Structure 1
Amino acid sequence: MDELSILKNSVKEFNMIFDKKYKTSIQSESKWLREAFEILQRATGKQVRPLMVALTCKACGGQLGEKSAESALLLELIHTATLIHDDVIDKAGLRRGVRTLNTIFDNRIAVLMGDFVLSIGLMRAIQLNDIQIISVVSSIGKELSEGEILQMETAEETVLSEQRYFQIIKQKTATLFSAATLLGAICADADNEIKETCRAIGENLGYAFQIRDDIFDYFSVDVGKPTGNDIREGKVTLPLLYAIFNDHSKEQEQCLNIIKTKDFTPSNIDRLIVFAKDKDGVEYARLRMSEYLDKALELCQKLPNISDVPELERLAKFICNREI
């Protein structure tokens, strides 16, 4: 049994409630939607964020049950909707080795399916009738969409900036993680200080998670997308940014020209990957990822139910050590 399975097993009853709610929430009269949901369940990953809600709730001294499972469901529905939309925007053909909805159906249908899932999440948030949870969930969409637009703008205008890079991943990734840990604290009826600590834990883990994901782009591993895919889309992530700004050789000038002219042929993408590795860009990214992880682990020690903190810490470490 792998680390994630062990952690999920530690909140088995929560997962049973969550799974039942998920299956019930996505029922539809539409044959296409039923087919889409079957596909999504194979392709949307490891459901790390719902687990984060549960483990944070426990670490704050809360009891897992209907409220925590419903909160986790809201987050997962919003996350799923954004993945569907992202695949359309990125013209992605595969997600974790499974064909995306936009290739099985078409862009029009996929966008409507994403809207359908998002609408379910918003409706259930209102039915939960908890203003704190509604406030957290309703703010996610704005942050995610603005982050996506900023990423596209950055790629189109070739803005090479580490500050801009972190701004994008804060909105696109850290937003969901901080929402997960904040929802866990809310479900535990934690005080404001603990809620802010939990929000910060999630934000730091979100940074670490995305940097780890970006590092995958520089290696031939099965993560559901080809090596160099980010570069191909004009996304210059942390390893390559570091190499570009910390080298002043002829190779740097040539690599910079490739990026600015968007001449992303297979050979040029390989060249940029090698350049980033040779100039310690990947090692720098790993260092920054570790810094965010360490900060999250440090904050975990401030949570009240210290006996359940180790499980949350193990999930945090899994995020940075995962191979896919």
Structure 2
Amino acid sequence: MTIKEIFEPIEDEIEVFKKKFKERLTSNIKIVDTIARYVVSSRGKNLRPMLVLMCSKMCGGKLDEKSYRAAITIELVHTATLVHDDVVDGSDMRRGLPSINAIWKNKMAVLMGDYLLANALISIVDIKSFDAMMLLSEATKRASQGELLQIDKSRKLDIDETTYLQIINDKTGALISAACELGAITTTDAGADREALRKFGDDIGIAFQIKDDLFDFEGEQSIIGKTKGRDLKEQKITMPLIYALKQAKPEESKRILKKIKKSVSRSDVNDILSFTQHYGGLDYAKKRLQEYSDQAVASLNHFNDSPAKEGLKKFIQYNMERTK
């Protein structure tokens, strides 16, 4: 199953979105335009804007300019957060390509992230919906505070599952949930549709991040574009390890945490991966992934059957099976 197959119901609309997104980033300042063109060429799967358009289609059938502006807004904010994240993490690569900070250095990267956010503000104002502006503002705030909380917890290494879920629900889930709800806002006045899509977005957002976190333990670098154990080297403790630490004897957990506190070597990574596997961390995370995926499917039961609804169901399954 491919992304193209999943989002076939909005195949034409995706092409329109890509054109409009590129136009939105055009600048008469050469350096801004150069970096913007690099941003456009190195973007990922467009999942968040496609969720906006697919949810709009499911709620109302026909998309208008508001739906496209909402899709552009979400992608601008998401891209800005990635640009800023690479600066915070000191990452030189993004999706297998040099990051903006690696090419143009940190000052330019931070300012480019700000430029993308400013464009997002203009785009959301164009929708002329207070609800849409409030939703985007809250989602952006949540994404920022989720990242801040993760940094704080990585320094202290005292994270539990409840805090982990709070972090990923804010850091990843907020924008995905907002994308889905914006799809309803731009197409219908039905509050029940908004609520169902908000819940769907929350659950698929958490499921998406759990899947990403599993890659740090069992992904192949040539496929996922990053080395196994990178989160561990950045002192990020995610669901598989949280569970394993809870199951192990205190002295064993302390030994693992001590390894993470210092500079993690390749042998340390292998030791931590084996520890996590031994204490059922991977199986537990996969179980939770299934639970959140099932909840996302249940939220879609609110809507009438349609190609868009079927596509969103396929997206849930795709997330569970994806290899990158």
The TM tier, using the shorter chain, reads over 0.9
Amino acid at match of 2:227: P
Question: What is the distance in 2 between the residues matched to 1:299 and 1:280?
Answer: 29
Shift of 1:64: 1.6
Give the aligned CA root-mean-square deviation in angstroms: 1.6
Q: What one-letter code is carried by the residue in structure 2 that aligns with 1:32? A: I
The change in CA–CA distance for 1:120 and 1:308 in structure 2 (over 3 A counts) is closer
Partner of 2:85: 86
User: SS of the residue aligned with 2:303?
Assistant: coil
2:6 maps to amino acid: L
Partner residue in 2 for 1:28: 27
**1:223 Cα deviation from its structure 2 partner:** 1.7
CA offsets, 1:146-187, max 9 Å, x none?
111111001011122111111100110010111011011112
* 8 Å contact kept, 1:43–1:97: no
Specify whether residues 192 and 108 from structure 1 end up closer, same or farther in structure 2 by C-alpha distance, changes over 3 A only: same
Q: Residue in 1 aligned with 2:237?
A: 236
**Cα distance per residue 1:84-129 (max 9 Å; x no partner):** 0000000011111010000101100000000001101101211221
* Whole-Å separation in 1 of the counterparts to 2:203 and 2:154: 24
Contact 2:70 2:123 (8 Å CA) reproduced: no
1:61 Cα deviation from its structure 2 partner: 3.2
Deviations 1:18-38 (A, max 9, x none): 112101100012332223223
TM-score with structure 1 setting the length: 0.94
Structure 1: gaps of 5 or more residues:
none
2-structure distance, mates of 1:196, 1:311: 19
- Residues 229-284 of structure 1 show CA distances to partners (whole Å, capped at 9, x for unaligned) of 1110010001111111012275444213323x334222212211121122211111
Change (3 A) 1:285 1:58: same
Q: TM-score, normalised by structure 2?
A: 0.94
Cα distance in 1 for residues equivalent to 2:11 and 2:219: 34
Is the contact between residue 7 and residue 54 of structure 2 (CA under 8 Å) also seen in structure 1?
no
Aligned twin of 1:170: 169
The change in CA–CA distance for 1:276 and 1:265 in structure 2 (over 3 A counts) is same
2:191 counterpart residue number: 192
Match of 1:258 in 2: 259
- Mapped to 1, the partners of 2:256 and 2:160 lie a distance apart of 16
Secondary structure in structure 2 of the residue aligned to 1:217: helix
The alpha-carbon distance between structure 1 residues 143 and 82, as it changes in their structure 2 partners (threshold 3 A), is same
CA contact (8 A) 1:170 1:206 kept: yes
- 2:177 partner amino acid: S
Counterpart in the other structure of 1:113:
112
| Alignment CA distance shift 1:146-1:60 (3 Å) | same
Range with greater deviation from structure 2 (193-202 or 136-145): 136-145
Counterpart in the other structure of 1:247: 248
Give the AA of the match of 1:262: K
Question: Aligned letter for 1:265?
Answer: S
The answer (yes or no) to whether the contact 2:48–2:75 under 8 Å persists in 1 is: yes
Paired residue for 1:61? 60
Mapping 1:118-137, distance limit 5 Å:
118-137=117-136
User: Residue 255 of structure 1 aligns to which amino acid in structure 2?
Assistant: I
Structure 1 pair 208/220, CA: closer, same or farther in 2 (3 Å)? closer
Q: Deviations over 1:2-30 (max 9, x none)?
A: 52012333212211221121011000123
Structure 2 counterpart SS, 1:10: helix
**Residue identity (%):** 33
What count of residue pairs does the alignment treat as equivalent?
322
Match of 1:235, SS state, is coil
Counterpart AA for 1:235: K
User: 1:137-286 to 2 correspondence within 5 Å?
Assistant: 137-221=136-220, 222-248=223-249, 251-259=252-260, 261-286=261-286
- Deviation of the 1:306 alpha carbon: 4.5
SS at match of 1:60: helix
Letter in 2 for 1:239: P
For residues 59-79 of structure 1, the C-alpha deviation after alignment (integer angstroms, 9 at most, x for no partner) is 223422321111111000000
Letter aligned with residue 89 of structure 2: D
Contact persistence 1:18–1:69 (CA under 8 A): yes
Q: Is the 8 A contact 2:140 2:174 kept in 1?
A: no
